[in-house]
Structure 1
């Protein structure tokens, strides 16, 4: 099973229904409300659909109430929490290490290996950079975020 199929199974197991629906504009990729996720029919690739689904599942698990008004600090915090949930689900620090071990040389290869979009990977790295700073140790590895993404194996 690919990542999209795993997420669809998780949604099913959590009684969350997924609907493919045109949301009125191409910029709006997905929407979560009351146990239903609408994914815009304009979402073209499996990788993009899995990223959208992961974020909307993040809203299912982490958000409360109507958070559409992003001028509210509390709503922005809930949006960030849902995205962080999606980044951890789709990529995670271990995913970055696995991509390194697999021999991925650049962000395109990492995104392809992890079955996410390059944009989602970039946003994840920026989020982790803000959260962890220069680097973060994971088991016998150090994942560096500054000056650029890199992984070093400790001996």
Structure 2
């Protein structure tokens, strides 16, 4: 099962309804009242998966109307939803799996993980803010800049 379909299954388990509908280019996805709308005009399943992960993040982490991003509280909720998506789609062990498969280069890693390169970079940035220069997973060091895995 591909990533997008796995996320749709999570939504269904939570009784969150997901609809694809044409939206303006600037809107890629929206969440409100247990309904997620994904822009039908997105180019790839990978991009749809990345957007769906963030919208599911809103379901799991946000409350109220947070459309007004001038509010610090709303911006924090927006980041929490994105962080949920980053960590759900690319937990640390997935970096190690890609390394174990000898997958190199951001494009190839993103393809292996079924995400966009932009989402991969945002995830790396998130983990770097969370952990610093590197994180450990089991007996591996995961360096974030440049992205590198070292077995200890």
TM bucket normalised to smaller:
over 0.9
4+ long deviations beyond 2 Å: none
State the partner residue of 1:71.
Answer: 70
Partner SS state of residue 41, structure 2: coil
The alpha-carbon deviation at position 22 of structure 1 amounts to 1.7
- Aligned counterparts of 1:95 and 1:14: Cα–Cα separation in 2: 24
Whether 1:50 aligns to 2:49 is yes
Partner SS state of residue 37, structure 1: strand
User: Which one of 132, 148, 151 corresponds to residue 149 of structure 2?
Assistant: 151
State the partner residue of 1:17.
Answer: 17
Q: How many residues align?
A: 152
State the partner residue of 2:3.
Answer: 3
- Aligned counterparts of 2:17 and 2:107: Cα–Cα separation in 1: 31
- Aligned counterparts of 1:3 and 1:141: Cα–Cα separation in 2: 25
Q: Report 1:3-152 matches (<5 A).
A: 3-23=3-23, 25-146=24-145, 148-152=146-150
Gaps of 5+ in 1: none
CA deviation vs aligned residue, 1:36-67 (integer Å, no higher than 9, x gap): 00001111101111111111000000000000
CA deviation vs aligned residue, 1:4-57 (integer Å, no higher than 9, x gap): 11111111110000111122x212100000000000111110111111111100
The alpha-carbon deviation at position 102 of structure 1 amounts to 1.1
The alpha-carbon deviation at position 89 of structure 1 amounts to 0.7
Over aligned residue pairs, what C-alpha RMSD do you find? 0.8
The alpha-carbon deviation at position 127 of structure 1 amounts to 1.1
- Aligned counterparts of 1:54 and 1:79: Cα–Cα separation in 2: 12
TM-score (norm 2): 0.97
TM-score (norm 1): 0.95
- Aligned counterparts of 2:88 and 2:7: Cα–Cα separation in 1: 9
Gaps of 5+ in 2: none
Partner SS state of residue 131, structure 1: helix
